Chain A
Amino acid sequence: MSIDEPSLARLMAASQRGDRAAYRSLLADCRRWLERYYARRIAPHHVDDLVQETLVSMHRKLATWDSSRPFLPWLAAIARYRWIDMLRRQRDVAELGDNDAAVGAEDEAVHARLSIDRLLQFLPPGQAQAITLVKIEGASIAEASRICGQSESLVKVNIHRGLKKLALMIESE
């Protein structure tokens, strides 16, 4: 089954009216969409937690979708908010485990539109590289420091500053 905008919007409208069956299929579709969305944005072992957090946020904020507007940009805004929130919470937990490289995911127009690469383009190269290596590809601070030639503390500072900027940008995207 493909995840397309019109059927998601229909399911969401029914969910707002209290249709539990529609809501269950909507959540299942959103889960698949979110798994792909996060696959390229965060280390794999965090994807499930982030998907769950986003589904709960979506549930709490169900009333904030306006049926005269498309559904996916609404979901994407919530997904991105949760993503940034998780990156922020992680920023002091510097070391990630091994095998954290993010897995590939199917390309979709909407994913391309929201691509992390587009956001990272707006950051200074040092910050973008530190975030990509540590937060997305799952390298440790020490590894990132070796790869990009920045000192370990500079890698941390760059991650901190870059995430702060990303958080500010998420709404103007």
Chain B
Amino acid sequence: MTMKHASIEDLIDGLAGELEPVRPRRVLRGSIWAASGWAVGATALLWLLGMRSDIASMPPLSLLSFWLIASAGIAATWSAVRMGLPGVGRDYSGWRWAGLAALSLPLAAVLAGLGDSHAATEAIHRGEGLRCTIQGLVAGIGVGAALFAWLKGGAPTSPTRAGWVVGIAAGSAGATIVALHCPIDNLMHISLWHGLAVAGAAVAGRIILPPLLRW
């Protein structure tokens, strides 16, 4: 026991001896990283593929979908950034509510699809669909990488949950970027193919990130 205590003393001496000043990490800095990740993804995608021509006068339904997905993305990003700064009793669950709100999109699509199955089938089978999903996944990499880097330098105490949340944030970011490019104003298309980017990124985040985020 005495030896153990002596070794803790040594450890404390060693740690104190190598202390250097650190710059405290603030939520604001993580948010700026994530915003930069979004800007990089958006610039790359829109530079390569162009912006939809009627961006200033998007139909209300597309605009509503955009903001629902954006709010889920912002809430997930906020939660992910906060997860990098640990603290017992902190609440990281804001993204769940925004995610629930965004679920109204696929719900509305299902209801609309029940009413008009022909339009639904067409929306599902149109070739652009999968392309939108892939573009969304790629465009979200900027936010995903920024949040990953932030958490890697931080101290997430639940790597599994952090993986989910980073995935949702990245996928939602990608889906909002695709919405600036994709000219299709069909609720079914947005819910299914753009939504698939969010779901796909969430699953990828859950599978890939937890082992990399352990510390």
Say whether A associates with B: yes
In the complex, chain A residues whose CB is within 8 Å of the CB of B12: 24, 27-28, 31, 55
* Complex interface: chain B residues within 8 A of A80 (CB): 88, 157
A117 and B1 alpha carbons, distance in the complex (Å): 28
**B62, CB-defined interface residue at 8 Å:** no
B11 touches which of A55, A63, A78 (Cβ 8 Å): A55
- A172: chain B residues at CB < 8 Å are 93
Q: Nearest residue in A to B12 (C-beta to C-beta)?
A: A27
Interface pair B155/A16, CB less than 8 Å apart: no
Interface-side segment among B19-27, B106-114, B193-201: B19-27
Asked if residues A56 and B11 are in contact (CB atoms below 8 Å), the reply is yes
CA distance A74 to B86 in the complex (A): 6
Q: Please tell me if the beta carbons of B86 and A77 are within 8 angstroms of each other in the complex.
A: yes
Q: Which of A19, A66, A77, A167 contacts B25 (CB 8 A)?
A: A66
Tell whether A90 is near chain B: CB-to-CB under 8 Å: no
B211 to chain A, nearest CB (A): 13
Q: Do A61 and B15 touch (CB < 8 A)?
A: no
Task: Please state if B215 and A170 are interface contacts (CB–CB under 8 Å).
Answer: no
Contact assessment for B21 and A81 in the assembled complex, using a CB-CB cutoff below 8 Å:
no
Query: A16-B22, A17-B21, A73-B87 known; A168 and B11 CB under 8 Å?
Result: no
Which residues of A line the B interface, CB within 8 A? 15-21, 23-24, 27-28, 31, 48, 51-52, 55-57, 59-67, 69-70, 73-74, 76-78, 80-81, 85, 113-114, 167-168, 170-173
